[in-house]
Amino acid sequence: MHVILVNKDGKSLKRKVGFSWTTFFFFFFFPALFRKDWTWFGILLALKILSVIIGYASGIVLSIIFGLTYNKLNIQQLLKKGYKPKTLDMENILRKKKGYIDSNKTFFESNENDFLHQ
């Protein structure tokens, strides 16, 4: 399931909601690299290097952890930077997934599909 996030300048980004299979099956820092998420890229690359030093099992554990969390972390970071779900339906998708959006945060009026002017 995907959502589209839009900033005030009209730039839109499509993001997957839920488990990140790319993060799990490939080196877990690649999605951050492709999304130009430099903060998480650095953190995940350092963890990958550390997992190589520590051993194979730690790499598997980290792949599972970040497969479960990276998409949520990235969406939360974009929302903090001013991106908003494109539609009320997309906001509701994020609301249904635990932890993506604060329960008291609202981007749309209940009966309209436009951004609130904040």
Question: What pLDDT shows up at residue 110?
Answer: 55
Decide if 14 contacts 83 (C-beta within 8 A). no
pLDDT tens track for 3-56: 999 999 999 999 999 998 888 887 767 888 888 889 888 988 888 888 878 877
pLDDT tens track for 96-108: 888 888 777 778 7
Decide if 16 contacts 1 (C-beta within 8 A). yes
Decide if 82 contacts 8 (C-beta within 8 A). yes
Greatest CA span in the chain, whole angstroms? 54
pLDDT tens track for 62-95: 888 888 998 999 999 999 999 999 999 999 899 8
Length of the chain: 118
Tokens of 40: 């998480």
CB atoms within 10 A of CB 69: 15
Which helix (DSSP H) or strand (DSSP E) does residue 77 occupy? helix 56-80
Question: What pLDDT shows up at residue 89?
Answer: 92
SS3 108: coil
- Domain limits, the chain: 2-96
DSSP single-letter state for residue 109: -
Question: What pLDDT shows up at residue 118?
Answer: 44
State the sign of the Cα–Cα–Cα–Cα dihedral 113, 110, 12, 19: negative
